[in-house]
Structure 1
């Protein structure tokens, strides 16, 4: 019965709230294409509902895919509908199918943007479900809650083994943890400085490193930077959550012996990070030549 009621409401009873936007700017021109409808059935900032004049925008990472200005508060009887536009091939002017949905708020009265917006997804029976990614032609139903609490992400690095005799194969595990009780917003980048003695092998299908589950499938690796190995994800890390990546590597010290440091650094502002002072972690390798 709930499913039927919600479906009928969407057909004949929905209040589509919209108006001219003043803050968020869509990445596309015109009406967009291959839309996904995001039905917002509740929107608040720290428990206070958004009101007329406030804006809601849908993002794929840093790409604005849809914007609307509210003409009133949002509820299950007065939906806000975002029509997110898919990107043109080779362009960054809309969402990419399969990428996670994120929303941002603009509080017109306070003239303040909120990018720490937690989403809860529902099916048409009003049951909570797992997050739905961007898919052209599909729909998502969400409640959205913004907060003044900002995310704080910090890396943890493990190298195993860290005592090496001659050319040695080893694994690198990077844990990216949110420690301030706020979901991340936007892309996250981790950099590891290059070392001529180190050779990295990136395997996006890897699921285990240093005995822990890793999430390589949601990370991308940039190998062309001359100074750093760069790993990037648009995956949202939930409040107090963790996202891992694993690297298979070879260290070849030749005939030398000594100590070397491997460092993982989260780039400033990644994921909406609010505390740069804890954005790096290091591990020391003790090595001996053959």
Structure 2
């Protein structure tokens, strides 16, 4: 016999090994009804049928997929559309900053977490939630997105005549979450500056760089383009350096060297801090 849940909320509270089991008869949750299983809330946008499945809470994040110390495991993927929320305890944040949390899910066994964007975090009630459309839920948890920002060091900052010139870019991770995926950094070109890239360099102008993990593209007339799939460790930086010459010629003025981080497959928490610039004054000899 199938059970229909038609009232506003169904609360199922369990202990540390919380579990909801649904047999072959299953249960149906009508559109807009809240099903809550020990802190996991599901509000389907259409009638939801749950058959021959279980939902169990654990406090162990997935290996290789860091998250908070609250994770919900289903015995079979559940195709779901609607609002998904997790009510967590402050002690379960696992080092993450609460305001940066994002709902995350894995669609099948042995797959990486898909981290959502634009999740809503209520720091007063400690709930993170987001709306999903036709996604398979096998694991549901919360984690945070990495956040990259560049810092440009153009040296020297004052140039008289033709002078050796360097540009170092530090790409810094700000959210204490290691990156996963590929990203690109564009550095602006200027006719008075001729820069080259040496993949063997580990230091440029006394600044540590990791040139060997970057690929360099000099074909664009406006930008030097560098790309890497190397992970930026949580709270750390990944750097590269360019070396060359600045030749003012018979003029004086200011050059602005700017860099922009462009995510390729890396998903970032913010994109409004992906640009930095440094200015150099130059004078004719």
Q: Normalising by structure 2, report the TM-score.
A: 0.55
Match of 1:104 among 105, 112, 117: 112
Query: Would the aligned equivalents of 2:152 and 2:258 in 1 still touch at CA under 8 Å?
Result: yes
Q: Label 1:166 to 1:239 Cα distance change in 2 as closer, same or farther (>3 A).
A: same
Q: 2:168 aligns with which of 152, 167, 173?
A: 173
CA gap 1:177/1:44 in 2 versus in 1, 3 angstroms: closer
* Structure 2 gap ranges (5+): 1-61, 79-105, 116-130
Rg larger for: 2
| Alignment match, 1:157 | 152
Relative to its length, the structure with more helix (as a share) is 1
Alignment of 1:95-244 (within 5 A): 104-106=112-114, 147-244=142-239
Say which SS state the counterpart of residue 278 (structure 1) adopts.
coil
- Give the CA deviation at 1:270: 6.2
| Aligned twin of 2:31 | none
Distance of aligned partners of 1:218 and 1:280 in 2 relative to their CA distance in 1, 3 Å threshold: same
In structure 1, what is the Cα distance between the partners aligned to 2:143 and 2:245? 44
Give the length in aligned residue pairs: 179
Deviation string, structure 1 residues 66-123 (Cα, Å, up to 9, x no partner):
x9932xxxxxxxxx5xxxxxxxxxxxxxxxxxxxxxx73259x966699xxxxxxxxx
CA-atom RMSD, angstroms?
Answer: 3.2
Output one character per residue of 1:34-61: Cα deviation in whole Å (capped at 9) or x when no partner. xxxxxx8676742315433459xxxxxx
Contact 1:199–1:251, Cα closer than 8 Å, also in 2? yes
- 1:166, 1:252 within 8 Å by CA — same for their partners in 2? yes
SS at match of 2:244: strand
- Asked whether the equivalents of residues 104 and 113 of structure 1 are also in contact (C-alpha less than 8 Å), the reply is no
Could you tell me the TM-score, scaled by structure 1's length? 0.54
- Aligned partner of 2:273 in structure 1 is 278
User: Secondary structure at 2:200's aligned position in 1?
Assistant: coil
* Contact 2:260–2:275, Cα closer than 8 Å, also in 1: yes
How far apart are the structure 1 equivalents of 2:181 and 2:190? 29
